[in-house]
Amino acid sequence: MRQAGRSLPEYRASRTGVGMLEACAMPELVTEITLQPVRRYGVDAAVLYSDIVVPLAAAGIDVRIEPGVGPVMGRAVRTAAEVDALPDLDPAAMAPVGEAIRMLVAELGGTPLIGFAGAPFTLASYLIEGGPSRHHERTKALMISDPGLWDALLSRIAGIAATALVAQLSAGVSVVQLFDSWAGALSRADYERFAAPYSARVLAEVAEHSSAPRIHFGVGTAELLGSMAAAGADVMGVDYHLPLDEAQRRITAAVGPRPLQGNLDPAMLLAPWDAVAPRALDMLRAGRAAPGHIANLGHGVLPQTDPDQLARLVDLVHGFDPADAPPGQ
Amino acid sequence: MRQAGRSLPEYRASRTGVGMLEACAMPELVTEITLQPVRRYGVDAAVLYSDIVVPLAAAGIDVRIEPGVGPVMGRAVRTAAEVDALPDLDPAAMAPVGEAIRMLVAELGGTPLIGFAGAPFTLASYLIEGGPSRHHERTKALMISDPGLWDALLSRIAGIAATALVAQLSAGVSVVQLFDSWAGALSRADYERFAAPYSARVLAEVAEHSSAPRIHFGVGTAELLGSMAAAGADVMGVDYHLPLDEAQRRITAAVGPRPLQGNLDPAMLLAPWDAVAPRALDMLRAGRAAPGHIANLGHGVLPQTDPDQLARLVDLVHGFDPADAPPGQ
Instruction: For A64-108, give the DSSP string.
Output: EEETTTEEEESS---SHHHHHTPPP--GGGGHHHHHHHHHHHHHH
Of A110, A105, A100, A106, whose CA–CA distance to A30 is shortest? A100
Contact between residue B140 and residue B150 where contact means Cβ atoms under 8 Å apart: no
Q: A304 — contact with chain B (CB < 8 Å)?
A: yes
From the list B243, B271, B304, the residue facing A144 with the nearest CB is B271
Q: B220 — contact with chain A (CB < 8 Å)?
A: yes
The gap from C-alpha B305 to its chain's centroid, in whole angstroms, comes to 19
List of chain A residues whose C-beta atoms are within 8 Å of the C-beta of residue B266 = 135, 137
Position B328 scores a pLDDT of 47
Judged against a pLDDT cut of 50, whether residue A329 lies above it is answered with no
Instruction: Say what the pTM is.
Output: 0.95
Question: Three-state DSSP class for B74?
Answer: coil
* Percent of chain B predicted with pLDDT > 70: 98
Of B199, B195, B67, whose CA–CA distance to B132 is shortest? B67
Indicate yes or no: CB of A223 within 8 angstroms of CB of B242.
yes
CA distance A33 to B296: 49
Contact between residue B40 and residue B307 where contact means Cβ atoms under 8 Å apart: yes
Question: Three-state DSSP class for A264?
Answer: strand
Q: Which residue on chain A is closest to B68 by alpha carbon?
A: A134
Q: Which amino acid makes up residue B133?
A: S
CA distance A273 to A312: 8
Q: What is the mean pLDDT of residues B22-48?
A: 97
Q: What is the mean pLDDT of residues B275-290?
A: 96
Of B177, B255, B162, B258, whose CA–CA distance to B218 is shortest? B177
Report pLDDT digits (tens) over B44-57: 999 999 999 999 99
Q: Are strands A294-297 and A260-264 parallel, antiparallel or unpaired?
A: parallel
CA distance B43 to B39: 8
Q: How far B240 CA sits from the closest chain A CA (Å)?
A: 7
Phi/psi for B66 (5° steps) reads: -90, 125
Contact between residue B263 and residue B238 where contact means Cβ atoms under 8 Å apart: yes
What dihedral do alpha carbons B272, B273, B278, B284 form, nearest 10°? 130
CA distance B80 to B11: 41
Indicate yes or no: CB of A144 within 8 angstroms of CB of B241.
no
Q: What is the ipTM of this complex?
A: 0.94
Indicate yes or no: CB of A276 within 8 angstroms of CB of B187.
no
CA distance A79 to A82: 5
Report pLDDT digits (tens) over A248-273: 999 999 999 999 999 999 999 999 99
Phi/psi for B177 (5° steps) reads: -120, 130
Ranges assigned E (strand) in chain B: 46-47, 63-66, 70-73, 113-118, 175-180, 214-218, 235-237, 260-264, 294-297
CA distance A314 to A66: 31
Beta carbons within 8 Å of B138's beta carbon, 6+ residues apart: A270, B76, B78, B128, B129
Of B80, B76, B89, B85, whose CA–CA distance to B150 is shortest? B80
Report pLDDT digits (tens) over A145-176: 999 999 999 999 999 999 999 999 999 999 99
The least confident of B2-6, B84-88, B182-186, B322-326 is B322-326
Of A302, A238, A220, whose CA–CA distance to B139 is shortest? A302
The gap from C-alpha B2 to its chain's centroid, in whole angstroms, comes to 8
Structural domains of chain B in order of their starting residue, each with its CATH number: 9-237 (3.20.20.210), 262-329 (no CATH)
Distances (CA, A) of B261 to B103, B214, B218, B257, B301: 26, 11, 11, 13, 15
Position A328 scores a pLDDT of 47
Report pLDDT digits (tens) over B203-238: 999 999 999 999 999 999 999 999 999 999 999 999
Position B326 scores a pLDDT of 53
Indicate yes or no: CB of B302 within 8 angstroms of CB of A271.
no
